Amino acid sequence: MAIENLAFLIPLLPALAFVITFFFGKKMYSGGALIPIGAIAISCIISVLITINLLQNPEEVVHQSIHWFAILNLGILIDPLAAVMLSMVTFVSLLIHIYALGYMSHDPGKSRYFAETALFTAAMLGVILSDNILQLFICWELVGLCSYLLIGFWYQKPSAAAAAKKAFLTTRVGDVMFLTGIIVLFSGIFKVYNGNLPEGIYVLQFSEMFNLIPQLSAMHTTILGFEVSQLTIITLLFFGGAVGKSGQFPLHVWLPDAMEGPTTVSALIHAATMVTAGVYLVARTFPMFMGAPDALIVVAYVGGFTALFASTMGIVMNDIKRVLAFSTISQLGYMMLGLGMGAVVGMEAVGVSMFHLINHAFFKALLFLCAGSVIHSVGTQDMRQMGGVGKIMPITFITMLIASLALAGFGIPGTSIGTSGFFSKDAIIETTYLFAEHTGNYLPYIFGIVAALLTSTYIFRLLFMTFTGKPRTDYGGHESPNVMTIPLSILAVFALLFGGITKKAFNDFLEVTFENDFVHVSMEHLAELGNYDLVHGAGHEPLFILWLPVIVGVAGLVISYLIYYKKVVDMSTIVSRNNPVYKLLYNRYYQHQIFIELIALKITYGLSLIGEFIDRKIIDGIIDGISDGTIAIGETIRKVQTGVVQSYATAVIAGVGLLIILLKLIVEVQ
């Protein structure tokens, strides 16, 4: 039996594990953790086997589909893009689950934890495997739900409950855009077929969607005076969804707060997997973006800006996990930036960006797990209370150092020597340079370079503040158990080596994502639709350009070293509430105030209170007024009945007289 036929098990096994663990986990060993671990391990094996098969024949993608209801289907598609994602997600998820065995061992709700993470993994795998946009959206939402549940895992903490809500709501804004995108897309398809959808074809399958790109891009609507193609609208709406899920500006606000969940959750969801769903979405629908270069530019700018913007905040955070959270946002920004270069480099944009995504998953998971290890041992997340942790936790320190180097992108250009982050990030920066050369627009490139400097600065600041120097408080920790350090070490190996080993193969593998049995899209053709040319020839940039990212990385290291290790500058003067720049950064550009207090509370809640007033006072007031008025009239009229019989007689007689006159008048009028 071919392994492909088992593909459906990949998301199903973790889902089953969720059911079993959720309902029966409490009575099992370690909260039933072994069931999800086993399930994910099998999924991981299947994924890797399929990926290996696929590496041989990239055209023979796995595609299975069944009818769902109405005009919709459920299906599985494993092409190179999905394959690498699958392997990465199952693998990282597996490691993190194993790590959590130790990390969560004392938590009373651990069976719930493992159930939810299993569900999360299933949902994420569902996102990756979907062969149609709607199924992708469904799993996408489930991922959001799991994130909500896991961020709010310690629900008794008000801050955790609030963070969970914020995460769900913020991503929901993006989701609505995504859904709108699907709706607009469907109506576009509907129009293409003139209202007669062909029988037996599921129009929301990617293959069908991509086939209709030319027609969609030919449809134009006018919005606010601009003539925009339908395709641009759809892709921008899809990107809106990605912005929410992948924490891009301005919907990134939930991600730092999401650190309220257990650290393993942060590692799993908010670093390695879930947040990359947005990037994956853009990559998955990349042919559509290719047909709409305007949308790609937006992707690039948003990504680039986010990369820079988030890293500025990373510098001033004192919470170890928050630094990493901003780092995640920033790195996701890089990936978007990379994708946004598609209008120049074509499929290579997907390659570099996905490459960074995979590498980032390894080193960011590692960073979080190391941080978790530190927190587990030290009992605080505030770096100001740490210091000198490296001495008591050597393995953690070393793995953390590797991860930091990878994040900062240390390596030697032109060779295969370097951390994995180096290869992928450099590749992105190189493509931005290509873009700049080609279009004369240097802004994305500048974003990338400056962000790289800041990245290096904040991550080494974290390293110095946490692991070096003397303990600033009396915490008394110890090295974590093996069940935690072994996953760390495995991840460290990947963080260090994966990039260098797979660099070339990876790109080639992804290059053919959209050219196979299931879907065949010609990038050149799309470029024609979008009115631009594709450029080939990355890697032929001037030496200076190749070295610049490394140089700024080292510069960042030096800056941190001087300030946080050597303490050449007295930080207390800068770190002060009177310093407006620091204040701005520390308060995260007042996003909380803007999003929560202004938009959520003042405007939305205010509007709803006005509605409540209308309901109670005006609508109900009218209704109650009618009833009260009637009763009052009744009370008045009944007094006419005085009880004196002559008055009754008078009424009769007057009635007769008046009736005669009235009738006379009416009859005469008639």
Partner 1 sequence: MTNYMLLAPELVLTLVALAIMLAGLFFGTKHKNILGYVAGMGLFAALSLTIGGLAVNETLFYGTITIDALSQFFKIVFISVSLLVTIASIKYTEGNKNTDEFFTLLLFSTIGMMVVASANDLIVLFVGFELASLSTYALAGFEKKNPKSMEAALKYFIIGSLSSALMLFGISFVYGMTGTTSIPGIAENAGALAASPIGLIAVVMLIAGFGFKMALVPFHMWAPDTYQGAPTVISALLAAGSKKMGFVAAFRIFMVALAVLSPNWQTAFAILAVITMTLGNVVAISQTSVKRMLAYSSVAQAGYIAIAFAVMTPMALAGGILYTLSHAFMKTGAFLVVAVVGYMVVSDNKNAKDIDHLDNFKGLAKRMPLTAFAMMVFVFALSGIPPTAGYVSKFILFSSTIESGLVWLAVIAILNSALSLYYYARIVKYMYFLPAIGGKVSEPRPYAVAIILALAGVLIIGIWPEPFVYWAMEAAKVLMV
Partner 2 sequence: MISMPIVSLMILVPLIGAVLTLFSKTKEQTRIIALVSSLAPLVGALYMIMNFDSSTPAMQFVESFDWVPSLGILYKVGVDGIALPLVLLAAIVVPATIIYSWGEDKQPNQFFALILALEAGVMGVFTSLDFFLFYIFWELTLIPMYFLISIWGGPRKDYAAIKFFIYTHVASLVMLLGIFALYFAAWAQSGIPSFDIPYLLEQFQFLENTVLRDSIFLALLFGFLVKMPAVPFHTWLPDAHVEAPTAGSVLLAAVLLKMGGYGLFRVMLPMLPFTGSPKLMISILAFIGVLSILYGAMLALAQTDLKKMVAYSSISHMGYVTLGAAALVPLSVSGAMFQQFSHGLITCLLFMSCGSIQHIAGTRIIADLGGLAQKMPKLTVLMLFGFMASLGLPGLSGFIAEFLVLTFAYLTLPGYVLLALLGIVVTAGYHLWAMQRSMFGVLNEKLGHLHDITNYETISMGILALLVLYFGLNPSPVLDMMTTNAEQIVSLMALAGV
Partner 3 sequence: MLNKSINAVVALLFFAVVALAVVSTTWVTVDELPQNVADQSNIEAIGVLIFTQFVIPFEVLSIVLLSALIGAIYIAKGEVEQ
Task: Residue 648: name its binding partner from partner 1, partner 2, partner 3, none (Cβ under 5 to 8 Å by kind).
Answer: partner 1
Q: Stretches 2-10, 176-184, 369-377, 556-564: which one binds partner 2 (CB under 8 A)?
A: 176-184
Cα–Cα distances in Å, from 542 out to 53, 226, 398? 38, 39, 34
- Cα 450 from chain centroid (whole Å): 23
Q: Which amino acid is at 586?
A: Y
Q: Is 660 in the site for partner 3 (CB under 8 A)?
A: yes
Tell me the C-alpha distance between 399 and 493, whole Å: 9
Q: Which of residues 306-335 bind partner 2 (CB under 8 A)?
A: none
Cα–Cα distances in Å, from 216 out to 133, 198, 220? 16, 17, 8
Residues in binding contact with partner 2, number by CB under 8 A: 50
If DSSP codes are grouped into helix, strand and coil, which group holds residue 74? strand
Fill in the per-residue mask, 99 to 138: x = in contact with partner 2 (CB under 8 A), - = not in contact: -----------------------------------x--xx
Tell me the C-alpha distance between 488 and 367, whole Å: 9
Q: Is 656 in the site for partner 1 (CB under 8 A)?
A: yes
CA proximity to 422, closest of 304, 509, 547, 280:
547
- CB nearer to partner 2: give 177 or 271: 177
- CB nearer to partner 2: give 89 or 184: 184
Residues in binding contact with partner 1, number by CB under 8 A: 28
Rounded to a whole number, what is the largest CA-CA distance in the chain?
119
For the four alpha carbons of 560, 565, 566 and 567, in that order, the dihedral sign comes to positive
The total of other beta-carbon atoms located within 10 Å of residue 662's CB is 10
Alpha-carbon Rg for the chain in angstroms: 31
DSSP state of 65: E
Tell me the C-alpha distance between 217 and 229, whole Å: 5
Q: Is 648 in the site for partner 1 (CB under 8 A)?
A: yes
Cα–Cα distances in Å, from 160 out to 165, 167, 261, 565? 9, 10, 7, 33
- CB nearer to partner 3: give 603 or 662: 662
- CB nearer to partner 2: give 259 or 371: 259
If DSSP codes are grouped into helix, strand and coil, which group holds residue 285? coil
**Cross-strand pairs, 132:** 205
Residue 636 C-beta: closest distance to partner 3, Å = 20
Q: Are 353 and 279 in contact (CB under 8 A)?
A: yes
- CB nearer to partner 1: give 27 or 638: 638
Q: Stretches 48-56, 67-75, 321-329, 575-583: which one binds partner 2 (CB under 8 A)?
A: 67-75
Q: Is 473 in the site for partner 2 (CB under 8 A)?
A: no
Fill in the per-residue mask, 285 to 304: x = in contact with partner 1 (CB under 8 A), - = not in contact: --------------------
Q: Is 638 in the site for partner 1 (CB under 8 A)?
A: yes
- CB nearer to partner 2: give 242 or 406: 242
User: 418 φ, ψ to 5°?
Assistant: 155, 160
For the four alpha carbons of 229, 525, 293 and 359, in that order, the dihedral sign comes to positive
Fill in the per-residue mask, 589 to 628: x = in contact with partner 1 (CB under 8 A), - = not in contact: --------------------------------------x-
Q: Is 654 in the site for partner 3 (CB under 8 A)?
A: yes
Give the CA dihedral 138, 143, 144, 149, nearest 10 degrees.
130
Residues making contact with partner 2 (CB under 8 A): 68-71, 134, 137-142, 145, 148, 152, 155-158, 160-162, 164-165, 168-169, 172-173, 176, 179-180, 182-184, 186-187, 190, 195, 600, 604-605, 607-609, 611-612, 615, 619-620, 623, 627
Q: Which residues here bind partner 3, judged by CB under 8 A?
A: 646, 650, 653-654, 656-657, 660-661
Binding site for partner 1 (CB under 8 A): 627, 630-631, 633-635, 637-638, 641, 643, 645, 647-649, 651-656, 659-660, 662-664, 666-667, 670
